[in-house]
Structure 1
Amino acid sequence: MFGTSIPINLIKGSMLFFYVDLLGMDAAVFAGVYAVYGIIDAIDNPVFGYLSDRTRTRWGRRKPYLVVGSAVLLLASIALFAVPGGVASSATALVVWFAIFAVLAEMADSLINANYGALLPELFPAERVRASANAIRQGCQLLAMILALGLTPVLAQNVLGCPVDAAGCADPTVGYTRLAVIFAVLGVAVILYMTFGVHEDPQASHEERPPFLASIRQILTNRYFWTIGVVNACYGSAMALVLNGLQLYVRYSLGGGGLDATILQVVVVVGAIGMLAVWARLVRRWGAERTWKRALPIAAVAFAPLFFVQDLLGAVIAGLCVAVGYSGVLATNDLIMARVLDDDATRHGVHREGIFLSAFGVLGRLNGLVVAAALASLTLFFGYRSGATPGPNPDLAFRFYLSVYPVILLVIGTVISRFVHVPGWDPRNPDAGRDGRTGAAGERVEVLRGDLGD
């Protein structure tokens, strides 16, 4: 999680700022490319998951794809921020370059996460152990976010490059280019090191290979796909807006620079790390479902103060509110998904975590369309087009982008979650996980069926 989060958070957190505000790409054009990016991001997920579930090698089902995906991610994430001068000076060439390497980076991310995400329910079948493992990996993700999201503005603008508005700054993009190389190499090195240390469940290689069309049909008719999947999509879209627009919010709404953006992002992420242990304890006490349903409305309300703050101090306080709700959903989301995977394996007798998670990812990764629509709305309603043409009121534009839109999305997700009953948790046996195994000793729990007709 630490390795995958470093290059991806640099991309998601700085791509909009880099191409639109620094290189001058029209925001509407960026939105169009990002919409295509979102569609491809959704389509390739079930394909990668299906291939992963059906793969049988002596190295396991997931490891070969993690290796291939990391190599592609290394090249694509560096190229995305290493735009040649000739390309940057041509509007058409810049769009083509952006489209090619943004899509390649996205596909690599999909390939990695389709396989990495499938390992959580496989390696940790008991919910309490799973909750602890998930808290650790989410903590690692947040640490990576401090590096690749929180520190990026100050590293790229003040350490490895020059401030955007500073006199004598000939090329404000050079810091981002250097940082992309550093983060890509670091992230991929961690991915590969961890990949070769993973021991997959050997029993999985003897299972029947899941058929594609039958699997898709069963997933699409699964009620959890259309409820939990949409809730996750709302949450993912809200966070995608924040990652993309925070540096622009700091610049236009708060009047700050790279250091201010770093301070705000680091405070939010550190706050989320601190709250993660609290939410993990609540999961052990209440269960994943109850905790998840309480975290969602908190996350929705938490974004509202960002619309009203006027300075960095106010934004930091508002950001800490965001951290509380964000860490709550972060601590429970994957546990909810793992419960659905356990239920599917019990019903159909085959473990197909890859394709199931990837099908859920179709809804979640369509957040590219939401981001594209939100960005296009800034041009339509507020006249924002680029750093060179910010329009008459970029302050209000990015207050809407970073506050109002996430609140709307998370309120929708909260309402839908009220109608969801997540399968698989028995309060009489909180350690039980997949197939009745317990987390304490790995013993089988006999399920009495017989006359109950279960």
Structure 2
Amino acid sequence: MFAVGQIPEGVQSTSFGFFLLFFYNQVLGLSGFLASLAIILAILVDAIGDPVIGAWSDGFRHRWGRRHPFMYAGAIPFALCFYCLFAPPDALSETQTFFWLLTFAVLTRTTQSIYSIPHTALTAELSTDYQERTRLSSLRGILQSVGMLMVFLIGLQIYFDSTPAFPNGQLNPDAYPRFAFTFALIIFVGVALTAYGTHSHIPHLPQGSDERKPFSLRQVVNEALMAFSLRSFKTVVLTGVLFGMTMGMVSALSIYLGTLYFEFSLELIGLSFPASVLGSFVGAGLATPLGRLFKEKKTLLMSGLLWYAGWNTLPIVLSLVGLAPAAGDPALFYLVMFANAICSMGIGVLTVMMGSMISDITDQHEALHGDRSEGIYFAASSFASKAIGGFGIVISGAVVDLAGIQRNATVETIDPESLLTLALAMGPGVLCLIGITAFVASFYDLSSQKHAEIREVIAQRAKPS
């Protein structure tokens, strides 16, 4: 049941990444600048709130342990705020729409953190084995892919189908509240199931220490500084943020690219996205056997990044140089769908590796400082993953405005120069961003041998004197 808890996060990240900007920009008419501003402010709140939640959870003392009280507490608020984000009242002005987006983007992310940070911290607590943690992260990645797939299959195929009034079903404002209600229920059920399903493990999990200082903001700052003093941690967080920015941009602009540049119908796009999710599913499943084949996790992380970049941008680069089938050609659709499925295998692998690497870093912290602080480390992981729906949307909003893509744009009305700007951002732009991300990942210095030495130090310290 532990991995089931990733389904709500897959739902949230996919809904934010693929639908949020499109809904507020194209359906409600909010400018790309204002949508980006709201997301920037929400990220700033995340940057403060996530470490606080992580540190609070690390020192929390309760008969249900350190993590489960937060997981239970987050279930209803997370689901409710997600629903409200996609169901604003009618006839709001642009300013009111901006504040609605800002308020519920902040609340959705914060309530998600109350649940997700303690949940992901369990990855390091349920096992201390170097390879077993990869398996746990792999299971989480697989179930997150299930959540993503549910959004595409249910959302695009049921709620956003075409009608006489809205041939492009994603422009139908009445579809979004129904979509949000369904997935708010899925979020609640997923959180409740994983909290209850792992409840029996509470007696065997690390508990809050009597020697730990009382929770305070000063403590949060001190623990964050200790975490960022580790080169391995700084590397993983920066890698996650950079990849999150890139993925967020790709996710938010995929609708624009598919409908306007490649000229695919919404039905075809609905088929191509599940292929990507299935690729991620396969990649997450392959991460465990690949982890046994490749000694170092850094190697797999960098390989996943480069694999993703090459295959993801292949159809766009071929189109820019005139070697791809014409826009709207069925052969182009099959090329894009195949490339997306293959590139997503890299996403599955690298996502699993990052979760496993952070679990190892918490051992490094314990060896240096004598206590366990999984929450503060996975808070940074949570913040990096939210960059998919955060920094990426900021970049996407800028690209939309820079390209001059107007509200309700169609293939017939869009300027060819706008399409070129969009393709350059999604092709060469993505290659550059991933290249920088892989370079940053190369500085990770926690090898398998070093981790074995760390576990030995911890084991020796735990022996009775």
Deviation at 1:299, TM superposition (A): 2.0
2:155 aligned with 1:152, yes or no? Answer: yes
Would the aligned equivalents of 2:82 and 2:184 in 1 still touch at CA under 8 Å? yes
Count residues in correspondence. 433
| C-alpha distance in 2 between matches for 1:234 and 1:163 | 41
Partner of 2:305: 296
Q: How many angstroms apart in 2 are the aligned matches of 1:149 and 1:399?
A: 23
Which of 41, 57, 64 lines up with 2:62 in the alignment?
A: 57
Write the letter of the residue equivalent to 2:185.
V
> Partner of 1:205: helix, strand, or coil?
coil
Q: Secondary structure at the match of 1:85?
A: coil
Which amino acid is the alignment partner of residue 21 of structure 1? Q
1:385 positional shift? 4.4
Shift of 1:163: 7.6
Report deviation, 1:317. Answer: 2.1
Q: 1:403 and 2:427 equivalent?
A: yes
Unaligned 5+ residue runs, structure 1? 438-443, 448-454
1:372-427: per-residue Cα shift (whole Å, max 9, x none)?
134213312x112433598524433433444343322211111122232224x239
2:377 counterpart of 1:377: no
Map 1:198-237 onto structure 2 (within 5 A): 198=198, 199-200=201-202, 201-206=204-209, 208-209=211-212, 211-237=219-245
Asked if the contact 1:163–1:172 (Cα under 8 Å) also holds between the matched residues in 2, the reply is: no
Alignment of 1:221-300 (within 5 A): 221-287=229-295, 288-300=297-309
Q: Which residue of 1 aligns with 2:415?
A: 392
Deviation at 1:253, TM superposition (A): 1.6
1:133 aligns with 2:136: yes
Q: For residues 435 and 314 of structure 1, what CA distance do their matches in structure 2 show?
A: 47
User: Quick check: 363-372 or 347-356, which moved more?
Assistant: 363-372
TM-score (norm 2): 0.84
The secondary structure found in structure 2 opposite 1:232 is helix
The residue identity in structure 2 corresponding to 1:166 is P
The whole-number CA distance in structure 2 between the counterparts of 1:273 and 1:370 is 22
SS of 1:387's equivalent in the other structure is: coil
- Distance in 2, matches of 1:42 and 1:149, equals 29
User: For residue 192 of structure 2, what is the amino acid of its counterpart?
Assistant: L
Residues 404, 149 of structure 1: alpha-carbon distance in 2 compared, 3 angstrom cutoff: farther
1:86 paired to 2:110: no
Distance of aligned partners of 1:301 and 1:346 in 2 relative to their CA distance in 1, 3 Å threshold: same
Instruction: Give the 3 Å change call, closer, same or farther, for CA 48–76 of structure 1 in structure 2.
Output: same
Q: CA deviation at 1:325?
A: 1.7
| Residue equivalent to 2:216 | none
Q: CA deviation at 1:145?
A: 0.7
8 Å Cα contact 1:151-1:262 kept in structure 2: no
Which amino acid is 1:300 matched to? A
* Alignment-derived partner of residue 441 in structure 1: none
Cross-structure match for 1:100: 103
Q: Which moved more, 1:29-38 or 1:208-217?
A: 208-217
Match of 2:78 among 66, 73, 80: 73
Moved more, 125-134 or 3-12: 3-12
Distance 2:188 2:335 in 1: 37
- 2:438 is matched with 414
Q: Deviation at 1:445?
A: 6.4
Deviation at 1:84, TM superposition (A): 1.9
* Change in 2 beyond 3 A, CA 1:261/1:434: farther
Distance 1:174 1:14, change over 3 A: same
2:36 partner letter = A
Q: Which amino acid aligns with 1:344?
A: H
How far does residue 202 in structure 1 lie from its aligned partner after superposition? Answer: 4.4
Secondary structure of the structure 1 residue equivalent to 2:91: helix
User: Which whole-Å deviations, capped at 9, do the CAs of 1:150-205 have from their partners, x for residues lacking one?
Assistant: 542222211xx7488429x8971222211110111122112112102222344423
Q: Partners in 2 of 1:10 and 1:176 — Cα distance?
A: 11
Describe the SS at the equivalent of 2:341. helix
Residue type of the alignment partner of 1:282: L
Equivalent of residue 116 in structure 2, options 100, 106, 113 = 113
Aligned mates of 2:364, 2:252 — CA distance in 1: 35
How far has the Cα of 1:36 moved from its partner?
Answer: 1.3
Looking at structure 1, the residues matched to 339 and 186 of structure 2 have their Cα atoms a distance apart, in angstroms, of: 32
Q: 1:186 to 1:433 in 2, by over 3 A?
A: farther
Q: Residues 292 and 7 of structure 1: is their aligned pair in 2 closer, same or farther, counting only changes over 3 Å? A: closer
Paired residues of 2:33 and 2:397 also in contact (CA < 8 A): yes
The CA RMSD measured in Å over matched residues stands at: 2.9
> Aligned pair in 2 of structure 1 residues 250, 241: CA closer, same or farther (>3 Å)?
same
Q: 1:140/1:207 Cα in 2 relative to 1: closer, same or farther (>3 Å)?
A: farther
Shift in Å at residue 16 of structure 1?
Answer: 1.0
Which residue of structure 2 aligns with residue 25 of structure 1? 30
| Matching of residue 336 in structure 1 with residue 336 in structure 2 | no
Q: Is the 8 A contact 1:77 1:180 kept in 2?
A: yes
Q: Secondary structure at the match of 1:206?
A: coil
Residues 365 and 172 of structure 1: is their aligned pair in 2 closer, same or farther, counting only changes over 3 Å? closer
Distance 1:184 1:31 in 2: 24
Cα deviation, 1:120-148, whole Å, max 9, x if unaligned, reads 01112112222222212211111111111
How far apart, in 2, do the equivalents of 1:163 and 1:331 lie? 43
The whole-number CA distance in structure 1 between the counterparts of 2:42 and 2:49 is 11
